[in-house]
């Protein structure tokens, strides 16, 4: 060491710098400032529980550079060691797209010149007692020009604690957020696949969008000790680009890398963009991407539509339709056919309408999914009202029918109100069907949603055909109606029973509202429903043909006044004022609220993670959770293996979650994914059993406790 | 320099300097190199056939090299393995005018000051040897077996930092590769990602 001081005073100064715990933020070398480091926040104040972003701002002397997460052939990435108070969390560094820097000897490095901002999300705990908070971190970096000098700085940032905050350093953060690689786009924009050819990995990207850029490069992010050579880009026809990455590894199975595909007008030019290629997501997308012929998916759609008839949310309506058939058995064939066709038309009308709406939304660039309308609380509210009114009708509260004929009420829905009644019954049955995803349907829709608008349309027609197929058969072949039981008084009892089934559906809808908007929203909805019930009772009791015109007019006005007034007050004012419930507050037990960043952080630490993609309005999800995921066998199996459990709550259609559903080719929830440490994720079927989960867990990691 | 080996003056065939993008892979035949050492002798790889050879890329100005010399870590390794009959060649491929370029005299002075124990210190100012191996870092390490095959290449150890305090807790891949080879065992880590400063080629 002493010899150096004589020989290399510069180095001695540099060594001093490493150990120097000074408040000064500048790294100097031979009297020159090489790196100026500071911490900046995108928020004027800290709000308890509210994440904000802190950036490490490094300003380098001209021609000097610091390094990217993967430095390339030489160099060391910048590191941050946070010293945070208990309860605080900090996310991974988000790295802006680096420059490619080439040195003689075919040395290629990834780094930053002049200035860089490395972003990290910081999450404060939910309660803070201090009035100001000082956050400190130690940044270490390597800065190189002709020579390399390690640098470090103990940095602090002090922010006041407040209940509200404003954004800060807008321009700086916006500039560097633009320079962050984006998530890999939908399959329709760019597909990615990996192939291993001996000592080379080949990434094939098919993207018409990329074809427009003269420069497209792959920046690898190899894990562990994997040695990677310099990726080469080969352009093919029709937007196909092959990136060849030489690798050196003992693992013969290694078939993909993390990295980013960087594209722009010129190398290192401003305005470059990048797509992040997550090895896990990409592998999963290729595994889970629906494959098969169009006919197969249409058949799945048809089968899914047929099975929808049996789903609990549809059964009450469907059973009434069956009653209609029973009632009409032996009647005029043409009349049966007409009523049946009207019902079917109702089913088709809803599905086609839904398909058109989805196509419009999709072309407007929105993420589309099955049952998306249930993510809107006002739709759920409307459905609650419809279901209640229908149930009251089944109970006989406001049957228009004459008292002596109990079955006339049914007729009112079918024969007497004619084809229009049948039509709306069809619509109603289908609307109620949407919160259920039947088997086959998920696969079929997952496929259709990645296709053109025309394909979505055809798929919905197939589902409608499947759902209406039993009625079509019964209408066309009334002889088969003989297989159904004879009409009788039992039908009245079944009808009332169905009323209760509808009330159960109502309970479910209210629970969905509660999950979306909280308990107050449920109470105000219930108040409105009470008023609505009274209006229905008034109609049933007083709005009868025997009453005088004056009475009827008065009752009608009172009814309308009641419904409108309660609507304005309970819904317009009170319900409207309730706020969205955030995913965090809904997580219970040992399930943690999901965010893509949290998932990544766990995976980076080498943990195995299970994610339950769920929504309050998803019945299949609730069934799976109660019967499988919360069962003691599965719960214990997770716990013994130390698997981290996340709940991704899609009740309010969180776009971050939508994106992940799409990566796996799924149109909606439920979706269950196991991310084994260091391996490709495993996608589970929509309907879970304990053995499916337990068997899979056994294959990824043996049960330690059982040994 | 307490070298135990005499170095012949025989000029061997100068291998073509391959301007390979990537280092010759582990398991392949180690390409020959030829360079003048700090004592003015010509050193070739082929003359050491039948012995284990370590190639160590060096730059006295690089903080990663200083990490291992300042702590005595590199000298200890050199002493241990040259004592076991391993040939250790330290190579400086820095081009004239760039950081770390040394004349023979400066090199000898540096060897004396740092008490280096390598078999020979090769001066490679034109970068021919460095480019043959696509050496990109200082330190960048290669281990070649008596049959002339590369058995290890990459970093010196598992902690890619410039902090000497990390040496104690890191896994020294070169030591492990030599220990395992000399004991007739399979090498656990035959390659790793090298870390350090870039080699200063012209």
Point out the least confidently predicted range of A469-473, A698-702, B113-117: A698-702
With residue A116 as reference, give the H or E element that holds it: strand A115-123
CATH number of the domain residue A118 falls in: 2.60.40.1250
Are residues A330 and A246 both part of a single domain?
A: no
- Whether A564 is in a domain gets the answer no
Q: What is the rounded distance in angstroms from the CA atom of residue B108 to the CA atom of residue A179?
A: 48
Q: Tell me the nearest-neighbour CA distance from B166 into chain A, angstroms.
A: 14
pLDDT at A532 exceeding the cut of 80: yes
For residue A371, name the pLDDT band (cuts at 50, 70, 90): low
ipTM of model: 0.80
**What whole-number distance in Å separates Cα of residue A388 and Cα of residue A384?**
6
pLDDT at A401 over 60: no
- Token digits for A679? 């391996």
> Which residue in A105, A146, A225 is closest to B130 by CB distance?
A105
- Is residue A290 scored above 60 in pLDDT? no
B130 touches A: beta carbon within 8 Å: yes
A76 and B201 in contact by Cβ < 8 A? no
- Determine the pLDDT at residue B135: 93
Give contacts of A3 with chain B, Cβ < 8 Å: 113-114
Kindly give the pairing relationship between strand A52-60 and strand A99-103. unpaired
Out of A491, A522, A551, pick the residue that ends a domain.
A491
Of A491, A525, A543, the residue at which a domain comes to its end is A491
Domain that holds residue A241: 183-277
Q: Average per-residue pLDDT in chain A?
A: 79
Chain B residue with the nearest C-alpha to that of A223: B193
Q: Specify whether A91 is located in the same domain as A38.
A: yes
Interface residue B66 vs chain A (CB under 8 A):
yes
Q: What are chain B's domains?
A: 51-198 (3.40.30.10)
Quote the number of domains for chain A: 4
pLDDT tens digit at each of 202 positions of chain B: 333 333 332 222 222 223 334 678 888 899 999 999 999 999 999 999 999 999 999 999 999 999 999 999 999 999 999 999 999 999 999 999 888 999 999 999 999 999 999 999 999 999 999 999 999 999 999 999 999 999 999 999 999 888 899 999 999 999 999 999 999 999 988 989 999 999 999 8
Same domain, A298 and A363: yes
Write down which residue in A458, A491, A524 finishes a domain: A491
Q: What is the dihedral of CA A502, A508, A513, A514, to 10 degrees?
A: 140
**Residue A332 shares a structural domain with residue A438:** yes
Burial of A47 (0-12, 13-18, 19+ CB in 10 A): middle
Chain B residue with CA closest to A106: the answer is B21
Phi then psi dihedrals of residue A497, to 5 deg: -60, -40
Residue A319 covered by a domain:
yes
A157 shares a domain with A211: no
Could you read off the pLDDT of A24-69 as tens digits, one per residue?
477 777 777 889 999 999 999 999 888 899 999 999 999 999 999 9
Please report which confidence band the pLDDT of residue A506 belongs to, taking 50, 70 and 90 as the band edges: confident
pLDDT for the residue numbered A28: 77
How many pairs of residues across A and B have Cβ atoms under 8 Å apart?
Answer: 109
Beta-carbon neighbour count of residue B192 at 10 Å? 24
CATH number at residue A625: 3.40.30.10
Same domain, A460 and A602: no
Considering only the beta carbons, identify the residue of A105, A142, A248 that sits closest to B162: A142
Identify whether A557 is part of a domain. Answer: no
CA angle B179, B181, B185 (to 5 degrees): 100
Statement to judge: residues A187 and A299 lie in one domain: no
Distance of CA B9 to the CA centre of its chain: 21
Task: Return the residue in B21, B124, B162 with the most chain A beta carbons within 10 A, the one to mutate for interface testing.
Answer: B162
Query: In this structure, is residue A535 part of a structural domain?
Result: no
B57 three-state secondary structure = strand
Is residue A269 located within the same domain as residue A308? no
Selected for mutation to probe chain B from A104, A140, A251 (highest B CB count within 10 Å) is: A104
Q: Inter-chain contact B199–A107, Cβ cutoff 8 Å?
A: yes
Which one of A199, A227, A254, A257 makes the best mutation probe of the B interface by having the most chain B beta carbons within 10 Å? A227
Tell me A481's DSSP state: G
A508-530 mean pLDDT: 86
- Alpha-carbon gap, residue A21 to A185, rounded angstroms: 44
Question: Looking at residue B12, what is its pLDDT?
Answer: 27
Specify the residue for token string 């802190």: A54
Per CB-CB distance under 8 Å, the chain B contacts of A106 are: 19, 21, 131, 134, 136
State the pLDDT at residue A328: 66
Residue A705 lies in a domain: no
A538 found inside a domain? no
Higher pLDDT, A256 or A21: A256
Closest CA to B174 of B53, B15, B23: B53
Q: How far is B122 from chain A (nearest CA, A)?
A: 18
> Which residues of chain B make contact with A11, given a CB cutoff of 8 A?
61, 63, 66
pTM for the whole thing? 0.53
**What number is the average pLDDT over the span A592-621?**
83
The CATH number of residue A237's host domain is 2.60.40
CB contact under 8 A, B193 and A1: no
**Residue A409 covered by a domain:** yes
pLDDT value, residue A619: 67
Please tell me which residue of chain B has the smallest CA distance to A245: B22
The verdict on A11 and A138 lying in the same domain is yes
Contact predicate A416/A408, CB 8 Å: yes
**Are A409 and A483 members of one domain?**
yes
Q: By the CB < 8 Å criterion, does B200 face chain A?
A: yes
Per-residue pLDDT band for A611 (boundaries 50, 70, 90) equals very high
Does residue A55 lie in a domain region? yes
Classify the C-alpha dihedral A624-A627-A630-A635 as positive or negative: negative
Query: What pLDDT is attached to residue A19?
Result: 35
The answer to whether residues A367 and A454 belong to one domain is yes
Instruction: Give the nearest chain A residue to B114 (CA atoms).
Output: A3
A14: pLDDT confidence band, cut at 50, 70 and 90? very low
- Domain match, A155 and A198 both: no
């Amino acid at each position: 060491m002493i010899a150096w001081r004589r020989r290399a005073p510069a180095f001695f100064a540099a060594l001093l710098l490493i150990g120097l715990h000074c408040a000064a933020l500048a790294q100097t070398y031979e009297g020159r400032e090489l790196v100026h480091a500071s911490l900046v926040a995108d928020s004027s104040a800290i709000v308890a529980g509210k994440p904000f972003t802190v950036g490490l701002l490094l300003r380098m002397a001209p021609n000097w550079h610091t390094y990217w997460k993967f430095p390339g052939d030489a160099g060391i990435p910048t590191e941050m060691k946070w010293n945070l108070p208990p309860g605080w969390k900090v996310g991974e560094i988000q790295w802006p797209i680096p420059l490619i820097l080439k040195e003689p000897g075919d040395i290629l490095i990834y780094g930053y010149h002049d200035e860089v901002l490395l972003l990290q999300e910081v999450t404060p705990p939910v309660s803070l007692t201090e009035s100001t908070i000082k956050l400190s971190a130690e940044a270490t970096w390597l800065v190189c020009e002709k020579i390399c000098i390690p640098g470090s700085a103990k940095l602090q940032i002090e922010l006041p604690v407040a209940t509200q905050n404003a954004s800060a350093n807008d321009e700086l953060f916006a500039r560097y957020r633009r320079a962050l690689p984006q998530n890999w786009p939908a399959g329709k924009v760019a597909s990615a696949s990996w192939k291993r050819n001996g000592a080379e990995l080949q990434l094939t990207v098919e993207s018409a969008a990329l074809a427009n850029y003269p420069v497209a490069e792959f920046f690898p992010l190899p894990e562990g000790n994997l040695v990677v050579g310099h990726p080469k880009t080969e352009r093919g026809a029709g937007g196909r680009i092959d990136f060849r990455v030489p690798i050196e590894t003992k693992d013969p199975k290694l078939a993909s890398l993390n990295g980013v595909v960087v594209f722009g007008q010129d190398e290192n030019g401003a305005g470059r963009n990048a797509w992040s290629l997550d090895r896990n997501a990409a592998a999963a997308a290729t595994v889970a991407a629906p494959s098969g012929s169009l006919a197969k998916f249409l058949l799945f759609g048809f089968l899914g539509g047929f099975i929808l008839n049996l789903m609990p949310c549809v059964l009450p309506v469907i059973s009434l339709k069956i009653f209609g058939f029973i009632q009409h058995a032996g009647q005029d064939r043409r009349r049966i056919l007409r009523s049946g066709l009207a019902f079917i038309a109702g089913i088709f009308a809803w599905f086609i309408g839904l398909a058109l709406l989805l196509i419009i939304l999709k072309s407007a660039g929105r993420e589309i999914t099955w049952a998306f309308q249930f993510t809107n609380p006002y739709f759920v509210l409307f459905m609650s009202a419809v279901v209640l009114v229908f149930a009251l009708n089944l109970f006989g509260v406001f049957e228009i029918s004459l008292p002596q004929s109990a079955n006339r009420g049914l007729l009112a829905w079918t024969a007497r109100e004619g084809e229009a009644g049948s039509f709306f019954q069809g619509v109603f049955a289908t609307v109620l069907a949407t919160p259920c995803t039947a088997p086959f349907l998920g696969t079929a829709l997952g496929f259709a949603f990645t296709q053109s608008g025309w394909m979505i349309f055809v798929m919905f027609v197939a589902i409608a055909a499947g759902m209406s197929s039993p009625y079509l058969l019964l209408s066309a072949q009334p002889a088969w109606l003989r297989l159904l039981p004879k009409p009788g008084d039992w039908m009245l009892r079944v009808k009332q029973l169905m009323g209760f089934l509808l009330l159960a559906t109502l309970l479910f809808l209210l629970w969905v509202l509660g999950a979306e908007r909280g308990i107050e929203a449920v109470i105000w909805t219930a108040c409105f429903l009470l008023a609505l019930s009274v209006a229905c009772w008034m109609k049933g009791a007083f709005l009868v043909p025997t009453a005088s015109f004056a009475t009827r007019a008065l009752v009608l006005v009172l009814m309308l006044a009641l419904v409108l007034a309660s609507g304005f007050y309970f819904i317009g004012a009170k319900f409207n004022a309730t706020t969205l419930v955030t995913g965090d507050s809904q997580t219970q037990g040992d399930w943690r609220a999901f965010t893509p960043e949290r998932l990544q952080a766990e995976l980076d630490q080498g943990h195995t993670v299970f994610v339950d993609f769920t929504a309050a309005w998803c019945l299949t999800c609730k069934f799976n959770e109660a019967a499988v995921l919360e069962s003691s066998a599965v719960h214990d199996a997770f716990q013994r293996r130390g698997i981290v459990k996340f709940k991704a709550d899609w009740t309010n259609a969180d776009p971050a979650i939508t994106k992940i559903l799409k990566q796996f080719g799924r149109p909606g929830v439920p979706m269950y994914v196991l991310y084994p440490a260091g391996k490709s994720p495993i996608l589970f079927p929509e309907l879970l059993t304990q053995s499916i989960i337990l068997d899979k867990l056994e294959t990824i990691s043996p049960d330690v406790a059982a040994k | 320099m307490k070298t135990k080996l005499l170095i012949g003056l025989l000029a061997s065939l100068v291998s073509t300097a391959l301007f390979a993008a990537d280092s010759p892979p582990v398991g392949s035949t180690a390409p020959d190199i030829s360079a003048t050492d700090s004592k003015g002798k010509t050193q070739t790889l082929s003359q050491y056939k039948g012995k284990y050879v370590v190639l160590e890329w060096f730059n006295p100005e690089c903080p990663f090299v200083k990490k291992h010399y300042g702590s005595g870590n590199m000298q200890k390794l050199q002493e241990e393995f040259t004592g076991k009959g391993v040939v250790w060649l330290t190579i400086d491929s820095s081009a004239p005018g760039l950081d770390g370029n040394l004349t023979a005299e400066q090199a000898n002075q540096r060897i004396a000051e740092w008490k280096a124990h390598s078999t020979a210190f090769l001066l490679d100012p034109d970068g021919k040897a460095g480019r043959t191996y696509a050496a990109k870092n200082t330190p960048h390490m290669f281990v070649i077996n008596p049959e002339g095959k590369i058995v290890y290449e990459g970093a010196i150890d598992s902690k890619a930092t410039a902090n000497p305090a990390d040496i104690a807790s890191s896994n020294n891949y070169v030591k492990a590769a030599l220990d395992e080879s000399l004991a007739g065992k399979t090498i656990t880590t035959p390659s790793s990602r090298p870390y350090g400063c870039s080699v200063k080629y012209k």
